[in-house]
């Protein structure tokens, strides 16, 4: 090889040797780089397959766990929370396994997480509060899946209780996710805790209207609706003497599931019946006196 370099290119033997050594060095470096890239590519493909299979296994475990908990008669709220928690833990284990497969030292990775634990804790303080709030909700059960609640400015039926939030379906079919932290530390109105609910309806009639006649007419409307309960007894009273009307308070009790139907029907019947019997329902009026 030296003879070739000297004979054809007239190079010095020492320089030719150095050139040959540099070539061999770069050749080895390139081969090593290609080998590592090939190994990393295979590991990356393996990680993608592992993640895909892992997610399928996690979904299968989630469905299986749901069937088991349902078969054991576990409270749906606890079952939903447990499924969500197991899903998060298994996903975390899958990610750690993929990191190990890529050749990253999980020990150093854990040490890194520990070193920034305080910062993460501060950054995720709201998330941790939501997690602890979910546990409090499961322990004290202010509501369950299927309950109709009002909280955090939202109102609807509870669909799922997750580890960080509660999924609520509103009356107009919108899904709202409410953080558990706010739910556990603020006021919650649960409309499903009691079997009966009270309807309060205020109806204004014109001044000069026969009060006893208006009262008996309202009582007649109440008696015609069989969904209105006799106990507690309905109440009709004179509530307020307003500027433009005399306000009657109509207070009745109904079963929880009949609340809205009775409420809307009662409004309709009061309007129609009062009009048919000549009982006027006034609107705000202003009397203006003109001085010449």
CA 146 to chain centre: 14
126-190 topology per CATH: SH3 type barrels. (2.30.30)
Q: Which residues, including other chains, have CB under 8 Å from residue 270's CB and lie 6 or more apart?
A: 201, 203, 218, 221, 250
CA distance linking residue 108 with residue 104, whole number of Å: 8
Give yes or no for a contact between 1 and 20, defined as CB atoms under 8 angstroms apart: yes
CA distance linking residue 183 with residue 178, whole number of Å: 7
Give yes or no for a contact between 149 and 158, defined as CB atoms under 8 angstroms apart: yes
**What is the pLDDT, as a whole number, of residue 158?**
95
Transcribe 115-176 into DSSP letters. Answer: HTHHHHHHHTHHHHHHHHHHHHHHHH-S--TT-EEEETTEEEEEEEE-SSEEEEEETTS-EE
Give yes or no for a contact between 12 and 20, defined as CB atoms under 8 angstroms apart: no
Segments of the chain with pLDDT less than 70? 1-25, 104-125, 285, 292
Give yes or no for a contact between 77 and 161, defined as CB atoms under 8 angstroms apart: yes
**What is the pLDDT, as a whole number, of residue 48?**
85
**Residue 269: half-sphere exposure toward Cβ, Cα within 13 Å:** 17
CA distance linking residue 220 with residue 225, whole number of Å: 9
CA distance linking residue 39 with residue 22, whole number of Å: 26
Own/partner pairs, 23-32, CB within 8 angstroms, 24+ separation: none
**What is the pLDDT, as a whole number, of residue 90?**
84
pTM value is 0.57
Structure tokens given for 150: 């009002």
Q: What CATH number has the domain spanning 1-108?
A: 1.10.287
**What is the pLDDT, as a whole number, of residue 117?**
56
Cis amide linkage into residue 232, ω under 30° from 0 = yes
**CATH 1.10.287 in the chain, residue ranges:** 1-108
**What is the pLDDT, as a whole number, of residue 248?**
95
**What is the pLDDT, as a whole number, of residue 291?**
78
Q: 202: which strand partners?
A: 249
**CATH 3.30.70.100 in the chain, residue ranges:** 196-276
CATH architecture of 196-276: 2-Layer Sandwich (3.30)
Transcribe 57-110 into DSSP letters. Answer: HHHHHHHHHHHHHHHTT--HHHHHHHHHHHHHHHHHHHHHHHHHHTT--HHHHH
**CATH 2.30.30.60 in the chain, residue ranges:** 126-190
**What is the pLDDT, as a whole number, of residue 125?**
62
Element of type H or E holding 245: none
């Amino acid at each position: 090889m030296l003879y070739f370099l000297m004979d054809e290119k007239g190079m010095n033997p020492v320089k030719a040797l150095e050139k040959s050594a540099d070539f061999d060095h770069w050749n080895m470096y390139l081969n090593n780089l290609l080998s590592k890239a090939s190994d990393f590519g295979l590991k990356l493909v393996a990680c993608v397959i592992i993640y895909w299979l892992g997610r399928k296994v996690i979904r299968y475990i989630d469905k299986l766990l749901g069937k088991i908990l349902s078969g054991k008669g576990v409270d749906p709220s606890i079952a939903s929370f447990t499924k969500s928690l197991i899903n998060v833990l298994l996903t975390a284990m899958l990610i750690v396994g993929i990191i190990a497969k890529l050749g990253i030292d999980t020990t150093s990775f854990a040490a890194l997480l520990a070193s920034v634990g305080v910062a993460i804790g501060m950054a995720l303080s709201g998330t941790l509060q939501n997690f602890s709030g979910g546990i409090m909700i499961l322990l004290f059960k202010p509501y369950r899946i299927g309950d109709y609640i009002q909280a955090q400015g939202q109102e609807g039926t509870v669909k799922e209780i997750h580890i960080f939030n509660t999924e609520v379906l509103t009356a107009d079919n919108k899904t709202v996710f409410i953080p558990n932290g706010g739910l556990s530390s603020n006021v919650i109105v649960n409309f499903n805790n009691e079997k009966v609910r009270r309807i309060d309806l205020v109806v204004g009639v014109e001044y000069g209207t026969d009060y006893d006649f208006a009262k008996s007419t309202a009582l007649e409307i109440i008696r015609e609706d069989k969904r209105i309960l006799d106990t507690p007894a309905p109440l009709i009273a004179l509530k307020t003497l307003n500027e433009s009307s005399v306000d009657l308070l109509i207070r009745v009790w109904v079963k929880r599931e009949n609340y809205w139907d009775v409420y809307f029907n009662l409004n309709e019947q009061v309007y129609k019946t009062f009009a048919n019997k000549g009982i006027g329902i006034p609107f705000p009026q202003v009397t203006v006196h003109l001085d010449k």
